[in-house]
A = this chain, B = another copy of it.
Amino acid sequence: MMIAEILSVGDELLIGRTVNNNAAFMGKLLAATGIETQWLTSVGDQMERLVSAIETAWNRVDIVLMTGGLGPTHDDITKDALCRFFNVDMTFHPEIVAEMKTRYKAREMEMPKIVNNQGLIPAGAELIRNELGSAFGLIFNRNGKVLIALPGVPFEMERMMVDSVIPFLKRFSGEHTILMKSIRTAGIIESKLVTEFRRLDEVRQLAGVAVLPKLTGVELRLTVSHDSREQAHQIMERAVRITREDIGQWIVAVGDVMLEDVIGAALTHMNMTVSVAESCTGGLVANRLTNTPGSSKYFIGGAVCYSNEIKHSLLNVPAELLNSYGAVSAEVAEAMAEGVRKRMKTDYGVATTGIAGPGGATEKKPVGLAFVAVAGPNGVVSEKVLFNVDRQHNKKRFAQASLNLLWKQLPQKYRTLAQKEVDHEG
């Protein structure tokens, strides 16, 4: 198996002005090509450190993938660093400059003089065309090792990775296969999930297992790496089967999908509809449900009701409930769910009410307290949530709790159908 390092160049990465989405994009594609990335390194626009980073990477892996620093300005030093490291000179490629002139002309613009620098290329490098920008990519192929340098502009890099780099690297990776499966759970915390997963060690013998707690539910990631494509698939199948047997009741879906997608698939099969009444989540539940393409088939509408008056006038929540239990109560959550279900004439109604903070707490009701409710053909249920990080995180956790409660109310038959559909796509 070939081993890779991704080396990103740019001060903006070090001071956190740019999040390194490029490295994630490249790592994903490399894994899908059967190449194992063992290191990600970011270094600034500084010659000595850059050359030392190139040297370290070149010595410890088979494939070095670089991004950034290929532009024409003074702070772009990647080409100079490569000349130093490979001990070669710069050569001038007039055909690159000629092509750039043609492209500028096509856009009815004059080519700025500085673009001439893009014709300078370290001797001995193969070129990778860049259809979307002026920085061509470079390949150094020496003694069975490869170094590839790409521009840092995401859409240029992405196009070049897909069109040129991955086809080029496939020659090296052979039959080796790396498979990944996301398994999304809901309604269970990380430490409990791991405890219930009794044959986790057995699965670890088959696959890499990462347990990732998120505000949209704990996610498991299984990774299988094998020299035979067929065997990799068989091993993954076994790992997923054992996982299902152990913790199936909390699995929402196998595949890179969200809870709202599976809910949508189930509602579509049921030919039923849903509406939402939100207080503390402020539109987030509706936003998640409508993120799923085609949600207009089953999502009818939502009401964000911050004031008690609107809760009463729009959702028919009785004033005496609001007065005796307070807006943040199981009783009001249930009345909101029933109210919106009736108001919007849907099969299900989902509701949230709580204190997202930082203000709004009372002696008996702390920030982070919420109630979620779901009204449906078989009546209404509600759940209490206690979770406090900060306003935006709290909103996310409350929204997740309400969608999970909705999911649990859907008939098992349709949940299974929806899961199968989604599994198939993943």
Contact = CB atoms under 8 A, between A and B. Distances in A.
A39 B38 contact: no
Contact of A282 (B10, B290, B357, B391): B290
Contacts of A195: 112-114
A301 interface: yes
A140 to B, nearest CB: 23
A265 to B, nearest CB: 15
A291 B395 contact: yes
Chain A interface: which size bin? 35 or more
Nearest to A285: B283
Chain A interface helix/strand/loop/mixed = mixed
A307 B26 CA distance: 38
Contacts of A424: none
A49 interface: yes
A326 interface: no
B134 A73 contact: no
Contact of A296 (B15, B37, B360, B387): B360
Contacts of A153: 213
B344 A210 contact: no
B38 A14 contact: yes
A26 B15 contact: no
A211 interface: yes
A279 B112 CA distance: 32
A183 interface: no
A72 interface: yes
A12 to B, nearest CB: 5
Contacts of A276: 283, 304
Interface stretch (A84-92, A186-194, A413-421): A186-194
Interface in A146-202: 153, 155, 159, 178, 180, 182, 189-192, 194-195, 200-201
Contact of A26 (B16, B159, B290): B16
A378 interface: no
B194 A114 contact: yes
A364 interface: no
B357 A293 contact: yes
Given A304-B283, A307-B301, A192 B49 contact: no
A14 to B, nearest CB: 4
A286 B282 CA distance: 6
Interface of A: 8, 10-21, 23-31, 36-46, 49, 53, 56, 71-75, 106-109, 111-115, 132, 134, 153, 155, 159, 178, 180, 182, 189-192, 194-195, 200-201, 204, 208-213, 221, 223, 276, 278, 281-287, 289-291, 293-296, 299-307, 310, 314, 343-344, 356-360, 386-387, 389-393, 395
11 contacts: A13-B27, A14-B40, A15-B28, A16-B23, A18-B24, A38-B46, A40-B41, A40-B42, A286-B286, A301-B307, A314-B314
5 shortest A-B CB distances, which residue pairs? Answer: A282-B290, A283-B286, A16-B28, A283-B283, A302-B304
